Amino acid sequence: MPVHNADVAAVFEEIADLLEIEGSNPFRIRAYRNAARTVRDLPREVGAMLDEGEDLTELPGIGEDLAGKIKEVVATGTAAVLEEHRKKVPKTLPELLRIPGIGPKRVKALHHHLGIRTLDQLQKAAQDGCVRVLHGFGPKTERSILDQLKGRIGEEKRFSLAVAAPYTEALIDDLKKSPGVLQVVAAGSYRRAKETIGDLDILVTAVSGSPVMDRFVSYPEVEEILAHGATKASVRLACKLQVDVRVVPEGSYGAALQYFTGSKAHSVALRQLAQQRGLKLNEYGLFKGDRSVAGTTEESVYAAVGLPWIPPELRENRGEFDAARAGCLPDLVEVDDLKGDLHAHTKATDGRNSMREMAEAARAHGLEYLAITDHSRRLTMAKGLDPKRLLEQLEEIDRLNETLDGITLLKGIEVDILEDGSLDLPDEDLRRLDLVVGAIHSHFRLSRQKQTERILRAMDRPCFTILAHPSGRLIDERAPYDVDMARVIRHARERGCFLEVNAHPVRLDLTDTDCRIAKEEGVMLSINSDAHSVFDIQNLRYGVGQARRGWLEKKNVVNARPLQSLRPLLKRTMTKT
């Protein structure tokens, strides 16, 4: 069975979790987590790299030992060290890590002091008030645990787009090799660029007698066949992703693609529009009585009810029909519209590549500029920059820009927003920069009023360009902090600064709805990779997907501007008195 990068990363993450629960050496734990991130972010499958004889030790943070373990996982699907540590930790204990805010250290405390091994035991302990008395927990954490458990016990496993993508792309490539296949496309929430997907819908057109369904259920990664028919089949892959495949006639392709793309709310509204015209719409086509009037393409389906084609990312029944009728659907931003990336890290702090390597990677992705925004001193775990090291980095950027061709490095920093709203570095140091990216990395549990005021005060500093990952959420890991986002957006408009659409698949922050509010308020956004390695720049596509779901156009995105047009915008954010 093929092993994907996400599978290797999952093995390393589980090893790190188990080691942390055991209280192992933090440097060893960090090595596994960094290796997981490196492998997960690779643009190529490590299996293919090994087949081609590539040296994995050339990857950032991968030495001989980890390279050997990657090879072991690719060959066997697991690692001896993982199996060894699974025997030391109760089998159900890692399930507790599913609860946002419950990391390995807290799992260890819950197990050691309360004997908790399962989610049910955790729920009972929290209900009995036993959790709050543990050091590092308290009543608020206990309430949060209970709130999380109400919705999470027994819920379906969901996959981020970045994790689902390699499985999806590999399966589609395989199905296309089946004799008689004409088209294969992913539909559902994957096509709509939702933040996470529960299962995967794939649509196929093929000539009569094509063995594509037999090929599908025989796919090497299939763990369980849930259904197998001539036109419909469903399986569960070894990674636990459920995949449903449907084969439809060419004449029904457009109607089926629209139907299986969804969303349900959008499709219901579209069927109602069809009914108002005396038509019937289903996955087989658009019909007037028994006569088909449209369905070969999606465009024909929408045109038959008097509408232009609506991009998949907008299909949530959130005003797209009114916009389509009025002829004012947005011309959504594309990946190729981005001219630069305004949030990236190097190995000067917690990145894994040099400044030159990051610049060359950005250029290879077709970008014209890249802002180097390493962390400030407050983030000690990331080796954040103090004023002296920042000055040294700025001098290095000047020297490097003299030698680079086709890419310009901008001088920036991701400066911590402190609890009182001040910034982690003095104004006189920040004024040396082209831009300042402000971010919250601590005190996530402040009250709504305090958290909001904290951000507003930071925006009002003389040098403030972009609010990074504005809600602080980590999807399925950490809830957003309590903040009045509408007020933050309005203040950004008044201040003249920008908000980030952080493209990291675990963040995708701003949310799609807040992106749209920002657009309506006239606030420009910056779609940034927050890259910590040369591989992370490819995540810009997920940020663009999020921006498209938020109705953003090229004109709404500050880093869709060429450098010459960008510089005056940046300068205005750095000269407030």
pLDDT value at residue 309? 98
Looking at the chain, which residues constitute the CATH 3.30.460.10 domain(s)? Answer: 159-325
Q: CA-CA distance, 310 to 323, in Å (whole number)? A: 10
Q: CA-CA distance, 279 to 253, in Å (whole number)? A: 18
Q: Which of 392, 487, 446, 400 is nearest to 413 (CA)?
A: 392
pLDDT band per the 50, 70, 90 thresholds, residue 23: confident
pLDDT value at residue 545? 98
Looking at the chain, which residues constitute the CATH 3.20.20.140 domain(s)? Answer: 335-573
Q: Which of 428, 426, 427, 398 is nearest to 411 (CA)?
A: 398
> Does residue 469 register a pLDDT over 60?
yes
pLDDT band per the 50, 70, 90 thresholds, residue 93: confident
Q: Taking residues 185-211, what's their average pLDDT?
A: 96
pLDDT value at residue 151? 59
pLDDT of 332-367, one tens digit each?
999 999 999 999 999 999 999 999 999 999 999 999
pLDDT band per the 50, 70, 90 thresholds, residue 138: confident
> Does residue 215 register a pLDDT over 70?
yes
Other CB atoms closer than 10 Å to residue 449's CB: what's the count?
A: 11
pLDDT of 107-127, one tens digit each?
888 988 999 988 889 989 999
Question: According to the CATH classification, is domain 5-152 in 1.10.150.110?
Answer: yes
Looking at the chain, which residues constitute the CATH 1.10.150.110 domain(s)? Answer: 5-152
pLDDT of 374-426, one tens digit each?
999 998 877 999 999 999 999 999 999 999 999 999 999 999 999 999 999 99
> Does residue 189 register a pLDDT over 60?
yes
CA dihedral in degrees (66, 71, 72, 74; nearest 10)? 120
Percent of the chain with pLDDT over 90: 81
Architecture of domain 159-325: 2-Layer Sandwich (3.30)
3-state secondary structure of 27: helix
Instruction: Specify the CATH number of the domain 335-573.
Output: 3.20.20.140
